[in-house]
Chain A
């Protein structure tokens, strides 16, 4: 059995997979930062990849990661709009109320679901929860700059924002993240020292 062909000899899907495979972890983290649950993030990642594959021919000359993150974000917004159309006003009110009450009981930081708590390292889960507590406009900039190490120009392209806005949001997002993380770590340490579960 032949074990390796040059990329030019592969089919479209195989070539797409070869390019996308090394970027999957980063795109996965981007989806995790966007979504409130792992399940939603996985669905988003799948939908985004399929959409990217089907529109591969129309890709511009920017980086692959930037292009894929842009697709994931558009898909996410589209999903949200679809959900919003389906949701009744009453549902929205109930959900909003429970979310506020939940945040109050949890000290203002949304807790990851039990599966998430088991799956990842505690530190990563904690910082992800803190990222989720940031408004989205700060969250994505901090993720792309500080986790994915994209430069400001690339982040501006991915999020379709002016360069100055990206820099500003990075500063403010970092500052807020630092405060949230310190507070969450203290709460966690306090809970552990009292003999409870974090």
Chain B
């Protein structure tokens, strides 16, 4: 740096300026955004296990209304993200679909499998990375051949997050959850492909079949 020039920088040729402008259009893909969000969720959970002064997830999760509040906060965050994105948003930005209520009748012998009606059709048959949040009393058991890359991301008292690659389109991977008690359960599904990134929220109301 012995010949450092303190003057103004040389002007950029027009073609270089145009190319740098094009570089400004480079954005993280929906898949990457979803991956980043999952990493932050994992980091939050790992930090949440350290002692803090805030109320513990355990205490919150034992309150009947807590899951609804947590769900509302998450939904609000997603909505804020969508609003805050402004000019950065493009056709591939995450989309929040309206919450859907799903009624489920448990079979007479107790537990039953519910297939979540996730909007896999948006991906035009492209494989999608799926993040499924379930309340921990419920297990999520896709058959291995349906979701060979299934990996539980993290689990605490308030929820479990599962990550896997799913097929979409006509041979879409079914998202089946096992429910063994009547009640109200909330599931959040975030799925991203090279085509779209969609976030869905299902509220499942399960009741028991009456005696025959």
How many whole Å from A3's CB to the nearest CB in chain B?
5
B26 touches A174 (CB 8 A): no
A182 touches B13 (CB 8 A): yes
A175 touches B23 (CB 8 A): no
A13 touches B9 (CB 8 A): no
Q: Which of A22-30, A58-66, A82-90, A98-106 contacts B (4 or more CB under 8 A)?
A: A22-30
A4 touches B79 (CB 8 A): yes
A159 contacts partner chain B, Cβ-Cβ < 8 Å = no
Known: A9-B73, A167-B6. A17 touches B40 (CB 8 A): yes
Known: A28-B28, A123-B22. A21 touches B73 (CB 8 A): no
How many whole Å from B210's CB to the nearest CB in chain A?
30
B88 touches A1 (CB 8 A): no
B151 contacts partner chain A, Cβ-Cβ < 8 Å = no
B181 contacts partner chain A, Cβ-Cβ < 8 Å = no
Known: A25-B27, A25-B28. A13 touches B79 (CB 8 A): no
Known: A164-B4, A165-B4, A174-B9. A13 touches B19 (CB 8 A): no
B111 contacts partner chain A, Cβ-Cβ < 8 Å = no
Measured between beta carbons, the chain A residues less than 8 angstroms from B37 are 17
* A9-B77 Cα distance, complex, nearest whole Å: 10
Known: A164-B6, A171-B9, A175-B10. A120 touches B28 (CB 8 A): no
A97 contacts partner chain B, Cβ-Cβ < 8 Å = no
A139 contacts partner chain B, Cβ-Cβ < 8 Å = no
Residue from B15, B44, B80, B88 with most neighbouring chain A CB atoms (10 Å): B80
Measured between beta carbons, the chain B residues less than 8 angstroms from A124 are 19, 22-23, 25-26
How many whole Å from A12's CB to the nearest CB in chain B?
7
B81 contacts partner chain A, Cβ-Cβ < 8 Å = yes
B10 touches A121 (CB 8 A): no
Interchain pairs with CB closer than 8 A, number: 159
A2 touches B75 (CB 8 A): yes
B20 contacts partner chain A, Cβ-Cβ < 8 Å = yes
A53 touches B40 (CB 8 A): yes
B171 contacts partner chain A, Cβ-Cβ < 8 Å = no
B28 touches A21 (CB 8 A): no
Measured between beta carbons, the chain B residues less than 8 angstroms from A185 are 15
* Residues of A that sit less than 8 Å from B by CB: 1-5, 7, 9-14, 16-18, 21-22, 24-25, 28-29, 32, 42, 45-46, 49-50, 53-54, 120-121, 123-124, 126-128, 145-147, 164-165, 167-172, 174-175, 177-178, 181-182, 185
* Residues of B that sit less than 8 Å from A by CB: 1, 4-10, 12-13, 15-16, 18-20, 22-28, 32-33, 35-37, 39-44, 47, 71-77, 79-81, 83-86, 88, 99, 201
**Interchain residue pairs with CB less than 8 A apart (14):** A1-B99, A5-B73, A11-B44, A14-B73, A14-B74, A22-B85, A28-B27, A46-B39, A123-B18, A124-B26, A147-B24, A168-B1, A172-B5, A178-B16
